[in-house]
Amino acid sequence: MGDAAAWKRVHPAMRRRFPRLEEDQFENRRLYLNSAAGSLMVDSAAHILSQAALTLNPMPGQVTPAERATGDFHGSVRSLAADFLHARSPSEISFHVSSTAALWALSYGMRSVLKPENGVVVTDLDHMANISPWEDFWGRERGLNIRRAGVTPQGRLDVDHLLSIVDEKTGVLAVTMASNGLGTIVPLKDVVAAVKSKAPSCRVVVDAVHHALHGPINVGDIGCDALVFSGYKVFGPMIGVLWVQEDLARLAEPYRVETNKNEPPYKFEMGMLNNAVLASLEAALEYLLGLYEMLELGGSGKAEARPERFRSVLESVARYEAEITEAVLNGFRAFDPAAIRLFGLADPALVSERDPTFAFEVRGRSAEETKLRRWRQHRIQFADGNHYSAAVVRHLGRPALCRASFAHYDAADSARLLIEALGDIVEK
């Protein structure tokens, strides 16, 4: 069965796994187009939260069955997250209250790695969570030279500019996998290779929070040294997952209480892990894995291993979402640009370079007003604000933009509904 036919067949069942997709908690019918701010939680990830809170022992340990079960459980969630990222070992995975907290922990942890002569490069395409920990701690507090790579007028990372500000002393490049403001994907494999050929000791820290629900991630293939994603952007709970490559993890010196084990991944973690949240993350990632069977991606060939199943699922998700992206971009094309302006890559031929996240403004109306009107009239829920995005705040210099963002649970028709609703506001 072809990809498109399989999606058509199973999509209604997939959508049913997200009980709040069509209705909010106040029983308002809605079209939820705000998955970049937080994807909806899959039913199994929600249900397991309370069960796990009752069943899991708070402390992992070696003696009683309950302690051992909790310890094994931590290991199995690390292993699942490692496979999601194609990491070499579960010991490269640590858990944090959020990706922001994880990035701060990693930034502090580079105290044993960065020297006063090193420089740090951040980008204007990033979320502030992968900028402030570097600018604030290493720039303002430690006095390192911080440089900022720009964004092209089309909304891509300006790779030529980036390479012009990297030199052999660059110690860290903090860069996103995709912009949560504009949706642009960064060609990370090429960027990392080019940066490392200029600065062989540079550590590349990737923010995959925006992209993690839209396509496969393979840390080895990217060639980066650390990467984060958030549970609540992959259909699960609020949690930050940090992968740090083994050598860097061993070298790093994060802030740590004396009695916490001084070895990865434990040394990165602050306090007891939240077992219920971990169980929920596990359920969300298992849901994604389950799409492999649902979409019959294995065909009749031999069963693929877990990392490959994640890859197949997310490649299929990317193909499905590309159709939505194309429909949205074609819809925006039909608008008078003087009335509605789409920011970022707008050409439908460039779908493979972007995630289904669309920043736009309606001339003469604030983002808040546009959002409110679309909600009242069409029950469409999208975002307004700066989205903590440097692309919006620094590159475009806007205090706020509207942002509509999609995920695989959205029906192909959602694109049409958004475009019709925006067309309406222009006419009135």
Ligand X SMILES: Cc1ncc(COP(=O)(O)O)c(C=O)c1O
207 binds ligand X (CB under 6 A): yes
Residues 104-143 that bind ligand X (CB under 6 A): 127, 129
Residue 208 C-beta: closest distance to ligand X, Å: 8
212 binds ligand X (CB under 6 A): no
Dihedral, CA atoms, 30, 33, 36, 37, nearest 10 degrees? -40
Cα 232 to Cα 160, 212, 288, 362, 370, distances in angstroms: 33, 10, 13, 29, 26
Distance CA 108, CA 21 (A): 39
Residues 330-369 that bind ligand X (CB under 6 A): none
Q: Which stretch binds ligand X (CB under 6 A): 206-214, 317-325, 376-384, 396-404?
A: 206-214
- Count interface residues toward ligand X (CB under 6 A): 13
26-61 burial string, b = 16+ CB within 10 Å, else e? eeeebbbbbbbbebbbbbbbbebbeebeeebbeebe
The 257-296 site mask, x for binding ligand X (CB under 6 A), equals: ----------------------------------------
99 binds ligand X (CB under 6 A): yes
* Angle formed at CA 25 by CA 23 and CA 28, multiple of 5 degrees: 45
Residue 287 C-beta: closest distance to ligand X, Å: 19
98 binds ligand X (CB under 6 A): yes
- Do residues 163 and 194 touch, judged by C-beta distance below 8 A? yes
230 binds ligand X (CB under 6 A): yes
Residues 372-391 that bind ligand X (CB under 6 A): 388
Distance CA 388, CA 385 (A): 8
Residue 159 C-beta: closest distance to ligand X, Å: 19
Q: Which stretch binds ligand X (CB under 6 A): 96-104, 184-192, 196-204, 408-416?
A: 96-104
Residue 211 C-beta: closest distance to ligand X, Å: 8
Residues 6+ away with beta carbon under 8 Å from 41: 18, 20, 232, 235, 236, 237, 280, 284
Residue 391 C-beta: closest distance to ligand X, Å: 10
| Max Cα–Cα distance, the chain, nearest Å | 70
21 binds ligand X (CB under 6 A): no
Residue 210 C-beta: closest distance to ligand X, Å: 4
Residue 228 C-beta: closest distance to ligand X, Å: 7
Q: For residue 104, which of 140, 129, 71, 87 has the smallest C-alpha distance?
A: 129
Question: Which residues lie across from 266 on neighbouring strands?
Answer: none
Give the residue, chosen from 155, 236, 240, 265, that forms a contact with ligand X under the rule CB under 6 A.
240
| Number of neighbours of residue 72 by Cβ within 10 angstroms | 11
Q: Tokens for 314? A: 């997310």
User: What region does 425 belong to: left with phi over 0, alpha with psi -120 to 50, or beta?
Assistant: alpha
Residue 38 C-beta: closest distance to ligand X, Å: 8
Residues 173-202 that bind ligand X (CB under 6 A): 176, 180
203 binds ligand X (CB under 6 A): no
404 binds ligand X (CB under 6 A): no
Q: Which stretch binds ligand X (CB under 6 A): 93-101, 254-262, 298-306, 310-318?
A: 93-101
267-279 burial string, b = 16+ CB within 10 Å, else e? bbbbeebbbbbbb
User: Which residues contact ligand X by CB under 6 A?
Assistant: 98-100, 127, 129, 176, 180, 207, 209-210, 230, 240, 388
